[in-house]
Structure 1
Amino acid sequence: MSQTNFKLVECPRDAMQGLHDFIPTKLKVEYLNLLLQVGFDTLDFGSFVSPKAIPQMADTAEVLAQLDLSSSSTKLLAIVANLRGVEDAVKHEAVDYLGFPFSISETFQQRNTNSSITQSLNTVEEMVSLCAKNSKKAVIYLSMGFGNPYGDEWNYEIVEKWADVLVSKGVEILSLADTVGVSTPEKIGTILPKLISRFNRTEIGIHLHSTPAERIEKISAAYLAGVKRIDSALKGFGGCPMAADDLTGNIATEDLISFLNTKGENLELNMDKWNEAIALSGKIFG
């Protein structure tokens, strides 16, 4: 199976956004330019959000202007949290995907985007329309897709209901996101096959957060469920700043690569560039 069939989404934006000390723009550019040469399908590189909300991403437009896309087939994804962010992001020709966190937990939607689920649905509709007009695609994350810590109701039916609503609004890529690391192999193995078979014209991905000990079993469950789009970050850095758990980071890309290699997947990655990126990551993440 070639990589065209398996989409690896590397997420340096998710890894960097919660860091307290501002990473110099030049260093971000150097790191992202290395990752662009590895051969990932997509790079979640930055976000067009309020600098007050995420100070680390205040230089996204500046970073974007310095990325070398000349010899990379990797597509660029930027996160947005409201319509203003959408309008900013679609102006940039180099951005292929706009990602929006649509939470199925009302509490988290308010905390994360300062809007209700209903308001966020309106944002998604306008976003899909603006993306279509500007040759972009919307990636909608079903955030808190495996449960939430607030006591908001969660079950498989709720996940399917919101997936149904979003697909009916024209969303072509849905990524089930475990914002706080509460997914289990059982949950992954139950909900993903349902979504993949029911929405067979929609690309279904997964964005997991995990403690290091549980990463491989979650990757394995997602793989067995038939998912072909997986988000991860080098060394598992990052995770949701709201999660407040130092151990709950992203899925580590090196774990994902090594798992897929054991399954005989042909990922066609440039491992020399990958190792250079790992070496440079120490300057960013300490």
Structure 2
Amino acid sequence: MKIIECPRDAMQGMKAFIPTQVKVKYINQLLKVGFDTIDFGSFVSPKAIPQMRDTAEVLEKLELEQTASKLLAIIANTRGAEDAAQHKPIEYLGFPLSVSETFQQRNTNKSIAEAMQQLEEIQNICLKHNKTLVTYISMGFGNPYGDPWDVETVIKFVHELDKLQVKIVSLSDTIGVATPENITYLFSHLIPAFEHIEFGAHLHTTPLTWEEKVKAAYQAGCRRFDGALRGYGGCPMAKDELVGNMPTENLVSFFENNGLNLNLNKAALQTAMAESGAVFL
């Protein structure tokens, strides 16, 4: 089981700028917990996401010597990919590819066709610099804009990503509209059809629906889950209001209750939970 902790997703929508040193202290604490991956920052336009303008500076101050956690950075174009690829500690570059034409324009200022072309270029950058591309299928379970969506469209997107030899695909419930039924359908069809692709679940959720979503994805074979402590954050480019992230502590509780040993440092996790209040409140 892989849990990807996403402080970047939690922070990016905060209106007040979080001081660099506060980010560094918090992420360094997360690195002690033992998560598979930390989605720590993004190399995007500071005009688009002002909160992430100090990602390179944060990276320089992270204590990476004694952690097994890997680092992931979000990028939105080839320029961001080139910038991120210059940093050796970053193992994964994450790119949001939307099923919704409206959201692709809002999120990356590109059409889906343009985004697919850039994705191919980004994949080449990753291969050149020994990075792994993680493609997020945004609005993967529906959208609020009236753009066409169905499960077959999502499957077609995966086929296109497979042609580019993308190895990790994360289905993203960007606005929290996924149901257990479409979660089950997508993962149970995609995982056996594309055995060479690692599928993840990036599920935004409300407090009342988190467990049914995790259970559906897990029972359908998903073994990679994104979360953010206390469910902070959400996508600021999606709607006027944010739908929170999947609370990481809920993921931990669910999987441990199902008999999985996540090999996490519980003391470090509790400290991170306590420190999160100073970061986000």
TM-score range, shorter chain: over 0.9
- Structure 1 stretches of 4+ with a deviation exceeding 6 A read none
Could you report, residue by residue, the CA deviation over 1:93-128 in whole angstroms, capped at 9, with x for unpaired residues? 010000000001111101100001111111111111
1:17 to 12, 17, 27: 12
Whether 1:106 aligns to 2:105 is no
1:201 to 196, 210, 223: 196
Identity of aligned residues (%): 55
- In structure 1, stretches of 5+ residues that fail to align are 1-5
2:241 to 215, 238, 245: 245
Residue aligned with 1:61, SS: helix
Q: How many residues get paired?
A: 280
TM-score w.r.t. length of structure 2 = 0.98
Q: In the aligned structure 1, how far is the partner of 2:131 from the partner of 2:163?
A: 18
Q: In the aligned structure 2, how far is the partner of 1:250 from the partner of 1:166?
A: 25
Q: In the aligned structure 2, how far is the partner of 1:12 from the partner of 1:236?
A: 10
Map of 1:69-108 to 2, 5 A cutoff?
A: 69-108=64-103
Residue aligned with 1:249, SS: coil
Could you report, residue by residue, the CA deviation over 1:116-146 in whole angstroms, capped at 9, with x for unpaired residues? 1111111111111111111100000011100
Q: In the aligned structure 1, how far is the partner of 2:239 from the partner of 2:132?
A: 28
What letter matches 1:86 in structure 2?
A
Could you report, residue by residue, the CA deviation over 1:215-273 in whole angstroms, capped at 9, with x for unpaired residues? 11111111111101000000000011123335x20100011000001100010000111
Residue aligned with 2:264, SS: coil
Map of 1:99-138 to 2, 5 A cutoff?
A: 99-138=94-133
Which residue of the partner structure matches residue 229 of structure 2?
234
Q: CA deviation at 1:189?
A: 0.8
What letter matches 2:244 in structure 1?
G
Residue aligned with 2:191, SS: helix
Map of 1:2-81 to 2, 5 A cutoff?
A: 6-81=1-76
Map of 1:186-225 to 2, 5 A cutoff?
A: 186-225=181-220
Which residue of the partner structure matches residue 3 of structure 1?
none
Q: CA deviation at 1:170?
A: 1.4
Which residue of the partner structure matches residue 144 of structure 2?
149
What letter matches 2:105 in structure 1?
Q
Q: In the aligned structure 1, how far is the partner of 2:145 from the partner of 2:230?
A: 29
What letter matches 1:36 in structure 2?
L
Q: CA deviation at 1:42?
A: 0.4
Residue aligned with 1:210, SS: coil
Q: In the aligned structure 2, how far is the partner of 1:157 from the partner of 1:220?
A: 22
Which residue of the partner structure matches residue 158 of structure 1?
153
TM-score w.r.t. length of structure 1 = 0.97
Could you report, residue by residue, the CA deviation over 1:26-66 in whole angstroms, capped at 9, with x for unpaired residues? 01000000000100000000000000000000000000000
1:268 to 263, 273, 278: 263
Residue aligned with 2:209, SS: helix
Could you report, residue by residue, the CA deviation over 1:135-161 in whole angstroms, capped at 9, with x for unpaired residues? 100000011100111111101110000
Cα contact 1:179–1:243 (8 A) shared by 2: no
Q: In the aligned structure 1, how far is the partner of 2:140 from the partner of 2:84?
A: 25
- In structure 2, stretches of 5+ residues that fail to align are none
